[in-house]
């Protein structure tokens, strides 16, 4: 470029943006298009030649002279054509183009039509012309301009979201690459130590594939994360995205499905093509069970669109070249419904299970979620971890969040242990029913019911210690007796289970002992006790009569329960199983009642204190029952 050329340049070397330049705003085109369409019409409307305007008297004179050839009458307006131009004298002519315009008087003129006919003038009549104004033209054009603008806005929005009719089969996965800031790392994932070891191997392989290739090793093509909801499967996937440093395609299984036939398979092809172009890379499919269900299952056959999508996914997994460094990572909490073809070696040939966290894991998870939350000195995360058996990582996060909201509501500067305990009860049992009115008689029944649970739990030898007893009504119960094991158990003896059933039936036994009656308040207790007793007989071989036996009961999750249950035993064996279940329940009921009769004084004291204080802790129970 010469020194005299003063045209400014963009950073990329192009000319500056103009109205129609390469980088111009396209909206000008959509504004000008309607104007270009209407310009010829507007030009015709405003430039119609009406000829010379003459007086009405002159018009009548020219008619009588026979110089008017034709007239067109628009209401009071008359337009016509002279046979020849009119000389006014002195060389001045009007009507050089022989066109003229005049106006009939408002009061009318009956003679003019007769005169026109006598002089053989061609008469044409038209409706009166509306006056052409700026606002009239604007109101005619504005609706069309508005419709065009709305249509283009919708079209551009659909195109931007990738939902245009031509993009419906394109890959919808979210891409995380080196330029994407993913904050989650392996250090942010507490517990799941075995899972982290497995996925760290994948990350290391993607970063250093040559170290594995020289030893002839091949990493799995597919890794399936299996575990209950809230145990950290998706969190682990985000950590892999943060650690890998390679393109990471994240997509939910439901994103493959669409109302159009064949779209799911098309999106699978597009996803794998994009991943191959940027290898080494990772594909993450969350909720794999939504697209990878067992084919042809159910009473009504399969789902054609889902099965086509699954077939395409199986084909893509098989089509991986041994030299390709593309790993498919998937997560599901329903491995039992996945198609067997997905799980064979060569596809998802490695399965990593994310279990519910242990006590140590829960303490680590709580420590991570406690970051950024001011905790009072009274808070012991180790104690909270012990009091939350069965909580998943998501449950623990929600627990601390509820405690923080409660502390903020009370205008506190920090979260204390009381807030966490209250949040735990809220998560487990629901909100307190403060507006619930309970009669004195019902309140007494509930107090003895919960006291019966607490006494049997405290006095029987093979039970977990009592943590808390309460008769505060909540959404899911009228009261609660909570036990906390000294340490986590993975194996349960028959003695422990028998005593556990006795504790569960202790509330009903207390009602019978004290009131010589029973209520419907033991419904959930009976359900839980019956479930444990049946498993002892049919699954765990803990019946002396039945012996070492497994019922083989299975349920096809695609069908109704009554239709799908399958039993590998005869009708007579079924009766024996029922008799054994009844025997276990009756024995537990008898044990609970005998225990309460033996410690009747403690039962009464505990119930009285519950009626007075509504909630008792572990130390209170020990003090009342002289166990301290």
Backbone angles phi, psi at 556, to 5 degrees: -80, 115
Q: What is the mean pLDDT of residues 355-376?
A: 90
pLDDT for residue 449 is more than 50: yes
pLDDT of residue 466: 92
The predicted-structure confidence for 484-493, as pLDDT tens digits, reads as follows 887 778 889 9
pLDDT of residue 131: 62
**Which is more confident, 314 or 415?**
415
- The rounded percent of the chain whose pLDDT value lies above 90 is 23
Task: Show the tokens assigned to 310.
Answer: 């699954």
How far is 183 from 177, CA to CA, in rounded Å? 12
Radius of gyration of the chain (CA): 43
Q: What is the mean pLDDT of residues 541-548?
A: 89
* Structural class in CATH, domain 52-126: alpha beta
3-class DSSP state of 471: coil
pLDDT of residue 45: 52
The predicted-structure confidence for 69-84, as pLDDT tens digits, reads as follows 888 888 788 888 888 8
Whether the pTM exceeds 0.85: the reply is no
Domain with CATH 1.10.8.60 in the chain: 359-429
pLDDT for residue 508 is more than 60: yes
pLDDT band at residue 513, thresholds of 50, 70 and 90? Answer: very high
3-class DSSP state of 568: coil
pLDDT of residue 463: 92
pLDDT of residue 39: 57
Q: What is the mean pLDDT of residues 558-562?
A: 44
CA-closest candidate to residue 241, choices 253, 231, 250, 232: 250
pLDDT band at residue 557, thresholds of 50, 70 and 90? Answer: very low
pLDDT of residue 494: 93
pLDDT of residue 534: 94
**Which is more confident, 402 or 316?**
402
pLDDT of residue 334: 86
**Which is more confident, 138 or 315?**
315
* Residue whose structure tokens are 């299975």: 554
Task: Show the tokens assigned to 299.
Answer: 């009473």
Which residues, 6 or more positions from 349, have their beta carbon under 8 angstroms from its beta carbon?
Answer: 220, 221, 222, 343
pLDDT for residue 123 is more than 50: yes
Domain with CATH 1.20.58.760 in the chain: 440-624
How far is 493 from 499, CA to CA, in rounded Å? 10
pLDDT of residue 264: 73
CA atoms within 13 A on the CB side of 362: 23
pLDDT band at residue 24, thresholds of 50, 70 and 90? Answer: very low
pLDDT band at residue 137, thresholds of 50, 70 and 90? Answer: low
Q: What is the mean pLDDT of residues 106-119?
A: 81
How far is 397 from 378, CA to CA, in rounded Å? 19
- The DSSP call for residue 415 is B
Cα distance from N-terminal residue to C-terminal residue, the chain: 95
* Residue whose structure tokens are 């290739």: 213
* Neighbour tally for 426: CB within 10 Å: 18
Q: What is the mean pLDDT of residues 24-28?
A: 51
Residue pair 467/482 in contact (Cβ under 8 Å)? The answer is yes
Average pLDDT, the chain: 80
pLDDT band at residue 173, thresholds of 50, 70 and 90? Answer: low
How far is 622 from 466, CA to CA, in rounded Å? 9
pLDDT of residue 559: 44
Least trusted range by pLDDT, from 59-68, 249-258, 529-538:
249-258
pLDDT of residue 429: 78
CATH architecture of 174-353: 3-Layer(aba) Sandwich (3.40)
Least trusted range by pLDDT, from 165-174, 254-263, 323-332, 339-348:
165-174
- The rounded percent of the chain whose pLDDT value lies above 70 is 78
How far is 397 from 377, CA to CA, in rounded Å? 20
pLDDT of residue 317: 79
How far is 286 from 342, CA to CA, in rounded Å? 15
pLDDT of residue 341: 85
pLDDT of residue 11: 41
pLDDT of residue 299: 44
pLDDT for residue 414 is more than 80: yes
pLDDT for residue 286 is more than 60: yes
Say which of 450, 511, 580, 609 is annotated catalytic.
Answer: 450
Q: What is the mean pLDDT of residues 473-489?
A: 83
State whether the Cα torsion 596-599-600-606 is positive or negative: negative
CA-closest candidate to residue 455, choices 410, 514, 406: 514
pLDDT for residue 382 is more than 60: yes
Which residues, 6 or more positions from 286, have their beta carbon under 8 angstroms from its beta carbon?
Answer: 233, 234, 237, 250, 251, 252, 253, 330, 331
Residue pair 316/269 in contact (Cβ under 8 Å)? The answer is yes
Angle (nearest 5°) at CA 501 between 496 and 507: 130
How far is 231 from 534, CA to CA, in rounded Å? 29
CATH architecture of 359-429: Orthogonal Bundle (1.10)
pLDDT of residue 569: 79
The predicted-structure confidence for 238-269, as pLDDT tens digits, reads as follows 888 788 777 888 888 777 766 555 677 788 88
Beta strand 281-286 with 350-353: parallel, antiparallel or unpaired? unpaired
Least trusted range by pLDDT, from 344-353, 446-455, 616-625:
344-353
Catalytic status, residue 198: no
CATH architecture of 440-624: Up-down Bundle (1.20)
**Maximum pairwise Cα distance, the chain:** 143
How far is 265 from 307, CA to CA, in rounded Å? 9
pLDDT for residue 339 is more than 70: yes
Highest mean pLDDT of the ranges 21-25, 135-139, 349-353:
349-353
Q: What is the mean pLDDT of residues 96-115?
A: 80
State whether the Cα torsion 16-20-23-24 is positive or negative: positive
Q: What is the mean pLDDT of residues 274-287?
A: 84
């Amino acid at each position: 470029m010469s020194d005299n050329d003063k045209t400014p340049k963009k950073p990329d070397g192009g000319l500056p943006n103009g109205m129609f330049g390469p980088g111009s705003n396209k909206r000008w085109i959509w504004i000008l298009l309607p104007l270009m369409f209407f310009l010829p019409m507007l030009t015709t409307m405003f430039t119609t030649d009406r000829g010379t305007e003459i007086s009405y008297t002159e018009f009548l004179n020219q008619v009588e002279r026979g110089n008017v050839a034709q007239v067109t009458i628009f209401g009071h307006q008359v337009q016509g054509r002279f046979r020849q131009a009119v000389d006014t004298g002195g060389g001045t002519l009007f009507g050089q183009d022989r066109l003229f315009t005049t106006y009939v008087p408002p009061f009318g003129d009956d003679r003019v039509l007769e005169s026109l006919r006598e002089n053989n003038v061609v008469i044409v009549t038209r409706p009166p012309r509306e006056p052409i104004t700026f606002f009239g033209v604007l109101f005619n054009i504005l609706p069309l301009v508005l419709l065009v603008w709305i249509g283009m806005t919708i079209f551009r929005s659909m195109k931007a979201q990738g939902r245009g009719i031509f993009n419906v089969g394109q890959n919808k996965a979210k891409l995380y690459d080196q330029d994407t800031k993913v904050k989650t790392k392996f250090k942010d994932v507490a517990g799941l130590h075995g899972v982290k070891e497995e996925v760290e191997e994948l990350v290391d392989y993607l970063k250093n594939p040559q170290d594995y290739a020289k030893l002839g090793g091949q990493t799995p093509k597919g890794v399936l994360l299996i575990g209950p909801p809230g145990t950290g499967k998706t969190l682990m996937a985000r950590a892999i995205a943060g650690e890998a440093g390679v393109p990471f395609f994240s997509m939910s299984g439901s994103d493959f499905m669409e109302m159009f036939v064949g779209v799911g398979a098309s999106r699978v092809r597009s996803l794998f093509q994009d991943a191959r172009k940027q290898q080494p890379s990772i594909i993450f499919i969350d909720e794999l069970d939504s697209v990878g269900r067992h084919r042809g299952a159910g009473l009504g056959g399969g789902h054609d669109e889902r099965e086509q999508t699954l077939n395409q996914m199986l084909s893509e997994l098989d089509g991986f070249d041994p030299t390709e460094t593309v790993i498919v990572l998937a997560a599901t909490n329903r491995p039992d419904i996945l198609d067997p073809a997905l799980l064979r070696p060569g596809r998802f040939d490695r399965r990593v299970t994310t279990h519910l966290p242990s006590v140590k894991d829960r303490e680590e998870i709580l420590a991570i979620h406690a970051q950024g939350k001011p905790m009072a000195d009274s808070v012991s995360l180790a104690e909270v971890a012990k009091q939350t058996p069965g909580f998943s990582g998501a449950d623990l996060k929600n627990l601390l969040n509820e405690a923080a909201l409660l502390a903020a509501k009370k205008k506190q500067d920090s979260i204390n242990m009381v807030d966490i305990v209250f949040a735990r009860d809220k998560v487990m049992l629901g909100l307190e029913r403060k507006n619930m009115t309970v009669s004195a008689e019902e309140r007494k029944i509930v107090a003895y019911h919960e006291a019966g649970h607490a006494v049997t739990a405290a006095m029987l030898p093979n039970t977990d210690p009592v943590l808390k007893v309460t008769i505060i009504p909540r959404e899911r119960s009228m009261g609660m007796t909570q036990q906390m094991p000294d340490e986590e158990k993975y194996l349960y003896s028959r003695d422990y289970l028998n005593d556990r059933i006795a504790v569960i039936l202790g509330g009903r036994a207390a009602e019978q002992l004290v009131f010589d009656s029973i209520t419907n308040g033991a419904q959930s207790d009976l359900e839980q006790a019956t479930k444990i007793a049946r498993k002892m007989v049919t699954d765990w071989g803990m019946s002396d009569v039945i012996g070492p036996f497994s019922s083989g009961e299975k349920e096809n999750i695609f069908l109704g329960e009554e239709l799908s249950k399958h039993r590998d035993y005869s009708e007579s064996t079924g009766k024996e199983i029922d008799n054994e279940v009844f025997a276990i329940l009756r024995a537990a009921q008898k044990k609970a009642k005998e225990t309460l009769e033996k410690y009747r004084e403690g039962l009464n004291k505990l119930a009285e204190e519950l009626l007075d204080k509504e909630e008792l802790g572990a130390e209170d129970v020990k003090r009342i029952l002289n166990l301290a």
